A and B are shown apart, each in its own frame.
Chain A
Amino acid sequence: TQLLEQSPQFLSIQEGENLTVYCNSSSVFSSLQWYRQEPGEGPVLLVTVVTGGEVKKLKRLTFQFGDARKDSSLHITAAQPGDTGLYLCAGQTPYNNAGNMLTFGGGTRLMVKP
């Protein structure tokens, strides 16, 4: 069974602070996705990283895929209240040309206070 561990589970910070969320596994994934989920809604895809060592930026969010494709991090610069939500990482493995299987981490619940 593949497992993804996210840390921290909870994070409460002031507006303007920086933060990093980690996603670690002992398994190799073909790609890794980051989602943000707000209360009462489904997860919304933020980014997909595919290549080991890849770095992607989305405004104030920086995503990195580990060289061995087993881990990833999400760094937020100058956090804003609008960044509040549940951040989920998900590792993907192909499934016999019949879709792709996602293994989700437990999530990091972020609250950014004004």
Chain B
Amino acid sequence: ETGVTQTPRHLVMGMTNKKSLKCEQHLGHNAMYWYKQSAKKPLELMFVYSLEERVENNSVPSRFSPECPNSSHLFLHLHTLQPEDSALYLCASSQATGGYEQYFGPGTRLTVT
């Protein structure tokens, strides 16, 4: 149990659908992250939120839209995705300052048909 939960664990969506991924952390952290893990690439950082403000958008297409309403919750809104967006989407959290470790959730396995 890492203290970071993600829902849903599995998602299948068509290219015209709109869906959202949810992440919640119970560790008292104030920075949250979205990563994409594909079969043939290293883990890729997508977005960073610190103190509820977005501080990094790693050249992610606009069909991915993050939202961080408070320091415990993080969403990733998805619309008009492509099949190549199929991947494991991981959420992580950490302290914004003074901390080294990031703690990951179990991920959402997304399949775009």
Contact = CB atoms under 8 A, between A and B. Distances in A.
Interface of A: 4, 30-31, 33, 35, 40-45, 48, 50, 88, 90, 92, 95-102, 104-107
Interface of B: 2, 4, 6, 31, 33, 41-43, 45, 48-51, 53, 55-56, 90, 92, 94, 96-97, 99-107, 109
Closest 3 CB pairs of A and B: A42-B104, A99-B31, A98-B50
A96 B96 CA distance: 9
B55 A99 contact: yes
Given A43-B90, A44-B104, A107-B42, A97 B97 contact: yes
B11 to A, nearest CB: 14
Given A104-B43, A105-B42, A106-B42, A48 B105 contact: no
Contacts of B56: 95, 99, 101
Nearest to A45: B101
Contact of A44 (B2, B6, B42, B49): B2
Contacts of A100: 31, 94, 99-100, 102
B104 to A, nearest CB: 4
Given A99-B48, A99-B94, A107-B42, A92 B100 contact: yes
B17 to A, nearest CB: 23
B109 A40 contact: yes
Given A40-B106, A42-B105, A95 B100 contact: no
Nearest to A42: B104
A48 B95 CA distance: 15
Given A44-B2, A98-B51, A99-B94, A31 B100 contact: yes
Contact of A97 (B2, B6, B96, B109): B96
